[in-house]
């Protein structure tokens, strides 16, 4: 019995915080944006079994903020501001589609490799496609990761990649959630403008 307990010790010796910390470092340094993928890579990097108890996304986000404050404090705030300025520019252009900023650029954890996520609300994704084509803006179709989204169009302007997540108008007041069940914050252009005001 004692031997079995000793054999089990290594797989439980690494805490959830250490997994979250490693996942956060991978996101900050390597540009991973998918937390689930970052956690899986962290588990492999730490040599842990696949069935180890994983931290939730909120724990990884906490560690990511800590990492950025400790190791990217000289650069990350400026990058975040640039991304928010680019988001505001695109939101102004797309104001007919009731754009909202969401994701890491809103919550403050965005870094050098982050994508700007914008929620748009239109009767049809074709409306948005035609709007972009009329302005010679190139885009690619991406797979929607939310069952409320009709389509996801990815723009690649000079500043950053931008995901336009297009939903039917009836979902504009819907409370979107992260995969772990937490509410996904979103803000209109007016709110973002206030965030950018010194």
The reported pLDDT for the residue numbered 3 is 44
Are both 166 and 137 inside the same structural domain? yes
In 3D space, the residue among 21, 7, 9, 184 whose CA is nearest the CA of residue 100 turns out to be 184
Dist. CA 129–CA 118, nearest whole Å: 15
Are both 101 and 188 inside the same structural domain? yes
Provide the residue range defining the domain that includes 12. Answer: 2-71
Chain mean position to CA 161 = 12
State the pLDDT confidence band at 6, using cuts at 50, 70 and 90.
very low
Are both 51 and 111 inside the same structural domain? no
Mean pLDDT of the chain: 88
Are both 120 and 166 inside the same structural domain? yes
Are both 101 and 153 inside the same structural domain? yes
The reported pLDDT for the residue numbered 30 is 87
Are both 67 and 110 inside the same structural domain? no
**Strongest mean pLDDT among 9-13, 102-106, 177-181:** 102-106
Reply yes or no on whether the pLDDT at 40 is more than 70: yes
Are both 108 and 36 inside the same structural domain? no
Mean per-residue pLDDT, 109-122: 93
In 3D space, the residue among 170, 7, 183, 25 whose CA is nearest the CA of residue 102 turns out to be 183
Instruction: Tell me if the pTM is above 0.85.
Output: no
Last residue of a domain, one of 71, 94, 124: 71
CB 128 within 8 A of CB 167: no
Are both 95 and 119 inside the same structural domain? yes
Distances, alpha carbon 122 to alpha carbons 46, 97, 151, 163, in Å: 45, 6, 11, 15
Are both 95 and 56 inside the same structural domain? no
Last residue of a domain, one of 25, 42, 71: 71
**Strongest mean pLDDT among 5-14, 99-108, 174-183:** 99-108
CB 55 within 8 A of CB 16: yes
The reported pLDDT for the residue numbered 179 is 67
Are both 122 and 139 inside the same structural domain? yes
Are both 180 and 102 inside the same structural domain? yes
Neighbours of 144 (CB within 10 A): 16
List pLDDT tens digits, range 68-99.
999 999 999 999 999 999 999 999 999 999 99
Mean per-residue pLDDT, 49-61: 90
Bridge partners, 163 (sequence order): 117, 154
Total structural domains within the chain:
2
Last residue of a domain, one of 28, 50, 71: 71
Dist. CA 182–CA 103, nearest whole Å: 12
Bridge partners, 183 (sequence order): 177
The reported pLDDT for the residue numbered 49 is 87
State the pLDDT confidence band at 182, using cuts at 50, 70 and 90.
confident
């Amino acid at each position: 019995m004692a031997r079995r307990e000793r054999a089990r010790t290594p797989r439980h010796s690494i805490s959830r915080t250490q997994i979250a910390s490693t996942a956060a470092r991978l996101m900050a340094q390597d540009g991973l944006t998918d937390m689930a993928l970052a956690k899986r890579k962290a588990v492999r990097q730490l040599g842990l079994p696949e069935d180890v108890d994983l931290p939730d996304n909120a724990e990884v986000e906490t560690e990511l903020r800590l990492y950025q404050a400790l190791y990217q404090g000289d650069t990350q705030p400026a990058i975040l501001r640039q991304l928010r300025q680019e988001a505001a520019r695109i939101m102004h252009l797309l104001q007919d589609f009731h754009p909202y900023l969401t994701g890491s650029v809103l919550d403050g954890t965005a870094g050098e490799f982050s994508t700007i996520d914008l929620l748009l609300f239109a009767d049809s994704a074709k409306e948005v496609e035609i709007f972009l084509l009329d302005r010679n803006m190139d885009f690619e179709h991406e797979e929607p990761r939310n069952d409320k989204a009709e389509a996801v169009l990815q723009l690649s302007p000079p500043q950053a990649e931008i995901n336009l997540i297009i939903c039917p108008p009836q979902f504009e007041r819907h409370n979107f959630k992260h995969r772990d069940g937490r509410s996904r914050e979103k803000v209109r252009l007016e709110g973002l403008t206030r965030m950018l005001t010194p």
